[in-house]
Chains A and B, each alone.
Chain A
Amino acid sequence: MSVTNFCKLDTALNLLRKLPRVTLSNIKDNPGSKKKPKRGRAQHGGDKHGAGNKGSGQRQNYMRLGYETGNNPFYLRFQMEPYYKGHHLRRQYPPLSLLQLQKLIDTSRLPVDKPIDLTAICNTGLYVCKPDKHHFGINLTDEGADLFQAKINIEVQWASEQVIAAVERNGGVITTAYYDPQSLWAAVNPRRFFMKGVPIPKRMIPPQDAIDYYTNPANRGYLADPEKVSWERLVLSQKYGYKLPEIEKDPQYRMLCERKDPLQVFFGLEPGWVVNLHDRKILKPCDEEVKAFYNPQ
C-alpha cells in the first residue's frame, strides 16, 4: 500500500470519529452492487421480455450452432486439418521468468545458500505445477535476464540458452532434469506425499522424445557428461561475451556442486525411504531385494 493510500485511509478514519456510531442499522452495501432481476413486470415492462414478436424467435427456438438452414455449413465445407493433433497429450512446462525468480529470492522466499529445485519453488506458494494437467515442471524463461543478479544452484525442467547464460554469468549453476509424473506428484507437494506413507519413488528416465534434451550438455541436461557440460559452459560464456566465474574458487563451491542422483526426487532423501511426519522419523528399507529395486547398480 502506498503512502497516498494511507493518507486517504487516515482521512476516512478521522471522518468516522465525527460520525455517529457504526451499528447494524446504518451500514449498507456499495450502490449498484446488487443486480436486480432483469425480467420486467406490469403493463409495458412485461410485454415481450426481449424475445421479440411472434415465431421462432419468440419461442427462443434457436438453431443448433453452425446450422445454416439447409446450406452446406461452413464448418463442414472444408477438410479437417489437424494442426493440433495430440496437443492435449504433450508435456507442458508452466513458465517461471528469471524476474520472478529474482523477486522470490529478494523477498526471502527462496534461500540462495541451498540448491533450489522444483520442491523449493512450489513451497513458496507462488508457482503452481499441476501434474494432472500434463505439467512437467518449470520452464525458466529469459524475461528479466539482464536484471538477474543471484548466484544460485538451480534445477529446472526446461531452460533456454539465454537463461543458462544469465545464471552462469553470475557464477551460478543450472541443471535441467526430468521428473516423471509419479515423482512430480511427490515433488510439488511433499507434505501431501509423505502423509500417504508410501516410499519415495525412484525417478524414471525421460521418455524417448525427451532423452535427447536431457542428455545434451548444451541444455545442461542431468544425464549429460559433466566434463562436456563444463566445456559447454566455457563455449557459452564466449558466445555471450562474459568472463566465466571460476566456481572452483568460490566459497560456496560445495553447495554449487550439489546435484541430485538421476533416481533421486528430494535432496537428502533416497528412493525407497518412507518419511513419517507424525513421529518425525525416516524409515529405510532393510530387505536386500527392495534395496536392489530402488538402487540398481
Chain B
Amino acid sequence: MLLNITKRLVCRKWSTRSMSSNVLPHNEQEMETAVVPSTPILKRELLYPCKYECPREAWVENLDTVKEQKLGMIHLHPEVFGGKPRMDLLHRNVHWQKMIRYVSFAHTKTRAEVKGGGKKPWPQKGLGRARHGSIRSPLFKGGGIAHGPRSPTTHFYMLNFYSRIHGLIAALSVKLAQDDLHIVNSLEIPTEDPKYLEELIENRNWGPSVLMIDVDDIMPQNISVATDEVPHVNLMPVYGLNVYSMLKHSTLVLTVNAVDRIEERILYHLHRNDGREAVKPYHFNNNS
C-alpha cells in the first residue's frame, strides 16, 4: 500500500507537470525518475472525438529495460478510459462471470428414489399410531428429502449486453484512475528469464499481480516463456479482456495496439445504431 502511494505521488507529479507545459524536465531530480523524449505527446487519432471532455492522457513505457523509460504520452478516449466508475456494474459483471460457468452438483434423493418404502408400514386404523404410507416419506429418518437440491443445476444467464460493455468501461476507467493501468509500446523483453520480469515489476512498483494485454493471441516468445512459470503475471489477448481478470490482477498493462483495438470495439458498440440487435435475448446457436 505504501509503495502504491509513493508511486501515485510520482505519477501525479508527472501529470501536473505535463498539464502545465509539454517541455523537457527542468531539474535533475525529475531526470532521475525517467528519461523523457523531446516531444512527449505521441500522435494518435481518436475515433468518435468527444465534444465535451478532453481526452485522458497516459505515458507509454517500454519493457525492454528494467528501468522505466517514458517513450511519450498518448491520448485515451474519455468515453472508454474516463467512464463512470460503476461499482455495481463491476459487481454484476464479476457475479455473472462466476455464475455463467457454475453448475451445482449437489444432489438429494426424493422419497421415490430412496430404496424401499413400497409397503404401508402399519394399518391405517386401530393401532393408535399416526397414519403413514411409506417409511421413505420425508418425515421419516432415512426417508427422502423434500425440495432438496437436484443435480446438475446450471446457473447460466446472460448479463445485458450494454451492462457488459459499461462494465468493461468501468473497469478500465477505475484502473486508469487508480494508476494501475500502464501502456507499453510492445511486449518484447530481452530475455526469457522470469527474474527479469520480477525485477521489472519490483522496480516500477507494479503488481504484485500483473495482467498484460496484446492484440494477438500469439505473444512474443521471450515474454511467453518468462511468464510461463510465474502464476501472478499473465498474458491475455484483447478478445479475452474481461472485468473479472482486470480486477483480479493489481496492475493492467496494455500495449498501444491493444488500446487501439479496445477503443475501437467499445466505441463501435457505444455508437452503433443497430444496438437493438445486440440486446436481443441470448439464444444458443444464434447465428446473427
Contacts and interface: CB of A to CB of B under 8 A. Distances in A.
Interface of A: 1-3, 6, 9, 12-14, 16-17, 19-24, 27-30, 33, 109, 124-126, 128
B214 to A, nearest CB: 23
Nearest to B5: A18
Interface range, B side: 20 to 34
A21 B180 contact: yes
- A2, A29, A126 interface centre (most CB from chain B within 10 Å): A29
A125 B4 contact: no
- B90, B275, B276 interface centre (most CB from chain A within 10 Å): B90
A109 B271 CA distance: 12
Contacts of B82: 9, 13
Interface of B: 1, 4, 8, 52-53, 82-85, 87-88, 90-92, 94-95, 173-174, 177-180, 244, 247-248, 250, 272-276
Contacts of A109: 273
Dominant secondary structure of chain A at its interface with chain B: loop
A9 B247 contact: no
Contacts of A125: 272-276
Given A6-B53, A13-B85, A16-B177, A22 B90 contact: yes
Contact of A21 (B52, B87, B178, B272): B178
A16 B84 contact: no
B91 A28 contact: yes
Contacts of B244: 24
A21 B85 contact: no
Contacts of B83: 9
A12 B4 CA distance: 20
B177 A17 contact: yes
4 nearest interchain CB pairs? A125-B273, A13-B177, A30-B88, A16-B177
A17 B5 CA distance: 10
A20 B85 CA distance: 14
A20 B227 CA distance: 27
A136 to B, nearest CB: 21
A207 to B, nearest CB: 30
A28 B85 contact: no
A112 B33 CA distance: 57
A16 B85 contact: yes
A29 B95 CA distance: 10
A29 B88 contact: yes
A19 to B, nearest CB: 8
A13 B175 CA distance: 10
Contacts of A14: 177
A191 to B, nearest CB: 11
B273 A16 contact: no
Nearest to B8: A17
Contacts of A16: 85, 174, 177-178
A22 B247 contact: yes
A16 B174 CA distance: 7
Contacts of A6: 52-53
B92 A29 contact: yes
Contacts of A128: 276
Contacts of A21: 4, 178, 180, 250
A70 B180 CA distance: 74
B87 A27 contact: yes
Contact of A22 (B52, B178, B272): B178
Contact of A24 (B52, B94, B275): B94
B180 A27 contact: no
Contact of B85 (A2, A12, A124): A12
